[in-house]
A and B are shown apart, each in its own frame.
Chain A
Amino acid sequence: MSDVALPLGHAAAAPAGERTHRGEALAAWLLTAPAILAFVLMLLIPTAAVVAIAFTDYELGAPALRFVGLANFAELLEDRGFVTSFRNTAFFVAVTTPVSIIGGLMLALLIESGTRGRAFFRAVFFLPVVSLMVAMATAFQYMFHPTIGPVNAALRGLGIVGPNWLGSSDSVMWTLSIIGVWEQIGFNMVLFLAGLTAIPRDLYAAAEVDGVRSAWSRFWTVTWPLLGPTSLFVLTITMIRSLRVFDIVATLTQGGPNKASEVLLYTMYTEGFTFFRMGYSAAITVVFLGAVVVLMLLQTRVLDRRVHYG
């Protein structure tokens, strides 16, 4: 970090500066003290504790706890419920990530390619990001209702018998994924819009001089390479957001039917706060944290590369 050199320069200052320097350090610690205290109490200790609890058989209200080593993690691998939960989360991430990224990019290109209605359409697609997801989920529950929902009513009009969207284990994860895409696409669109605005206009003119005429080849020769860093950033962010799916499951399916829509955070929630199996729930939290950290590190490396190439 470049600022490491700064304190040395200061320390070399005359004794007159010595007192202000010490005053500065004191002020710095006083200014950071509240944040440090809250950080340690609310984040650092609890996170360390959750990792520690994951290696115990702690249950809320139980008189004692025992160190059980990796037993919780071994149980996770045997637990069909957890395996389903893990697989469902992976499914949700695998479906919502590409669809909401490609969809977000296409919306951004569509909006950017003209001047009319930009702010209006941007607002329309961004609306889900600021909407209370629990409330919107109940709206989706009505829309996807097998008998009275407008989605199946429309399908009936076309002579198709619609599925029991949220009520059947075959379709429930697909339905949740549709809602997930709806929730995320506007966020990605806005990130891509920012990326598109950053592309210098004269590059397109230069490409035109070089004989790049069609919109299609313009996209692949200019837009896409220059959007590369944005896309990689959007990719990791979207994966992490998808990994945290909880609200729509808690509101709409509670993991059902038959555990067909259990996802990591919801399983962690029920194990810990419904059954009070804290040790087991903590182990699921550690798995979740591990997945997020892997994706975050991926992002940091990607961002590092972006600095190099930029």
Chain B
Amino acid sequence: MTPSSPHDKSLVADLPRLALLSVLGLIFLMPYIWMISVSLKPLDEVWRASMSLIPQTFAFEKNYGRVLSEVPIGRYLLNGAIVCFGILVFQLAFALPAGYALAKLNFRGRETLFAFVMLGLLIPAHVPAIPLYIAFAQTGILNTYAALIAPSTISVFAIFMFRQFFRAMPDELIHAARMDGLGEWSIVWRIIVPNAWPAATAFAIFSVVAHWNDLFWPLIAVSGKGELATPALGVIYFRTEEAGDDFGALMAAATITTIPLVAAFLIAQRRFIEGITMTGLKG
């Protein structure tokens, strides 16, 4: 049997592989399994340190109820959605036309601009944080959506990715449009944007996953027990102020904030994996 025909492996021959994968998979899922299990357990059962996953008495209402009543968790999720959406809209609005211009238009300075793009790829998002914080503090826009969104509006990586994407697009498409008398703006709107969907979707997934899960910048830009907390910040607030040792409620908060992206991932698995790995370059 060659590896080129793994298809004809019988179920019995495949069993060791499946068993090993299942054991490893189970170990990997342990944090999720325990998170959900503990989120359903009453406090005394959590502290009894039993190894049983199924709660003897279900404390769903108590734990999840505590999260819902003590922190505006719905607001945190909404904030996460607003921030991710705001960031994505600006990133696409800035990067898509720039990527097209760098790929398909001839103009002096194009090589210089592209060199700056490559330079920008070297800089992690953590680097500009201090000057941005100082500038935001002085202009008084800390603790606003603008402060959460603005630093991420430019994605050098998106420019790079769209440039690569548009370069692979046939020139004839654009020439034909010019022949038809379309101006550069109409070309962008009517030809480029509609054709960019595959790249835009991949980038959107990458961007939303990155910013929904980001802790570093929200921790800096939003202070106090603000109404502007993103999901990541929300979990931290709830942990430090409300539920230090109430693991049941804490796991309920963790479950609520983890579910949206994980659910989206399970629905559109292939797209997620493609999007995140295609953009793997950014690291």
Contact B153 A38 (CB under 8 A): yes
Cβ contact within 8 Å between B184 and A138: no
With both beta carbons as reference points, the residue of chain B lying nearest to A278 in the complex is identified as: B130
- What is the interface of chain B mostly: helix, strand, loop, or mixed? helix
Neighbouring B residues of A129 by C-beta, 8 Å: 209, 276
Count of A-B residue pairs with CB < 8 Å: 307
With a cutoff of 8 Å between Cβ atoms, the chain A residues found around residue B159 in the complex are 35
- Chain A contacts for B178, CB-based, 8 A: 20
Q: Is the Cβ of A42 less than 8 Å from the Cβ of B17?
A: no
A119 proximal to B (CB < 8 A): yes
B236 and A134 contact, CB distance less than 8 A: yes
Q: Give CA–CA (A23, B132) in the complex, Å.
A: 36
Measured between beta carbons, the chain A residues less than 8 angstroms from B116 are: 39, 44
B93 touches A34 (CB 8 A): yes
> Is B105 part of the contact surface with A, judged by Cβ < 8 Å?
yes
Chain B residues lying within 8 Å of A128, measured Cβ to Cβ, are: 28
Residues of chain B within 8 A of A121, CB atoms compared: 21, 25
Residue total for B at the interface (Cβ-Cβ under 8 A): 108
Cβ contact within 8 Å between A25 and B251: no
Interface size on A, residues (CB 8 A): 102
Closest chain A residue, CB of each to CB of B133: A273
- Closest chain A residue, CB of each to CB of B5: A201
Chain A CB within 8 A of B204 CB: no
Whether the pair B273, A27 counts as a contact (CB closer than 8 A) is: no
Q: Return chain A residues, CB-CB under 8 Å to B124.
A: 240, 244, 288-289, 292
A36: chain B residues within 8 A (beta carbon): 98, 113
Whether the pair B4, A35 counts as a contact (CB closer than 8 A) is: no
A202 to B108, alpha carbons, bound, how many Å? Answer: 47
Which of A67-75, A94-102, A106-114, A163-171 forms part of the interface with chain B?
Answer: A106-114
**Do A182 and B38 have beta carbons less than 8 Å apart?**
no
B98 touches A115 (CB 8 A): no
The CA of A136 and the CA of B32, in the complex, are separated in Å by: 8
- Given the interface pairs A28-B101, A115-B6, A132-B235, the reply to whether A187 lies near B25 with Cβ below 8 Å is no
Interface of A is mostly: helix
- Confirm or deny: B110 has a beta carbon within 8 angstroms of a beta carbon on chain A: yes
B139 to chain A, nearest CB (A): 12
Contacts A127-B29, A237-B283, A269-B216 given; does A293 touch B111 at CB 8 Å: no
| A29–B128 touching, CB < 8 Å | no
Q: Are A24 and B107 in contact (CB under 8 A)?
A: yes
User: A4 an interface residue at 8 Å Cβ cutoff?
Assistant: yes
Contacting A at CB under 8 A, from B172-186, are 178, 183-185
Q: Is the CB of A201 within 8 A of B154?
A: no
CB atoms of B105 and A28 under 8 A apart: yes
Closest to B270 in A: A119
Q: Is A123 interfacial (CB-CB < 8 Å)?
A: yes
**CB distance B32 to A190 under 8 Å?**
no
Q: Digit string of B253-283 for contact with A (CB within 8 Å is 1, else 0)?
A: 1110110011011100110110011001101
Q: A119-B269, A136-B31, A138-B35 are in contact. List 4 more A-B contacts (CB 8 A).
A: A35-B95, A124-B28, A142-B38, A250-B236
26 contacts between A and B (CB under 8 A): A7-B108, A28-B106, A34-B97, A39-B156, A42-B151, A44-B116, A50-B131, A121-B25, A123-B265, A125-B24, A128-B28, A132-B213, A132-B254, A132-B257, A134-B232, A134-B257, A136-B254, A139-B254, A142-B250, A150-B34, A208-B2, A273-B220, A282-B130, A288-B126, A288-B127, A293-B122
CB within 8 Å of B: which residues of A? 1, 3-4, 6-7, 10, 20-21, 23-25, 27-29, 31-32, 34-36, 38-39, 42-47, 49-50, 53, 60, 107, 110-111, 113-117, 119, 121-136, 138-140, 142-143, 147-150, 153-154, 157, 182, 187, 190-191, 194, 201-202, 204-205, 208, 215, 218, 237, 240-241, 244, 246-247, 250-251, 265, 268-269, 272-273, 278, 281-282, 285, 288-289, 292-293, 296
